[in-house]
Amino acid sequence: NFLFSCFYTSATHTDHVVMVCRTAVLTFINILITVAGPSEWKRGIDLLTRLVIVPDLRSESDPECNLAVQKKNRQKTRLVMDVGNAFGALTVTANSKFLRSLRSSDLQYAALLLPARALTESAARIHSVKSNGVS
């Protein structure tokens, strides 16, 4: 699902700008409000101070500008992808389902797919305990 997408404007680690659109920042903050513990809040706010926040934009590659018909999460994900496309940047996401749907629609986006992660420290601990065979 949609969590947080960053746009990398350079392939090198020493010279890059990490941009994120307003919609992604608001979604990230809502997730922090809902499920973050104290250390997650600190890391989340620290992350936000290192980002360049850009306005939400629509890419010209979007043949259908009527987003009212689309589901809310799909609408957000599409908007995030469009911002990356408008800046000619690589979008980093864990939303493999959405990337497959873009590919099947013949829409062109530059994206790096990362594995999905637990939203909270407690969820990560629970997953770790279950994967070690302890219930």
Q: pLDDT category, 42, cuts 50, 70, 90?
A: very high
The CATH number of 6-131 is 3.40.50
Quick one: DSSP state of residue 87?
T
Domain ranges for the chain: 6-131
Q: Could you read off the pLDDT of 67-90 as tens digits, one per residue?
A: 444 456 667 777 778 877 787 777
Between 86 and 59, the more confident residue is 86
Residue 133 — left, alpha, or beta (φ > 0 → left; ψ -120 to 50 → alpha)?
Answer: left
Return all residues near 96 (Cβ < 8 A) that are at least 6 apart: 113
Contact 27, 43 (CB under 8 A): no
pLDDT the model gives residue 58: 63
What pTM did the predictor assign?
0.62
Could you tell me which of 27, 19, 43 has the C-alpha nearest to residue 120? 43
Tokens 């392939």 appear where?
Answer: 11
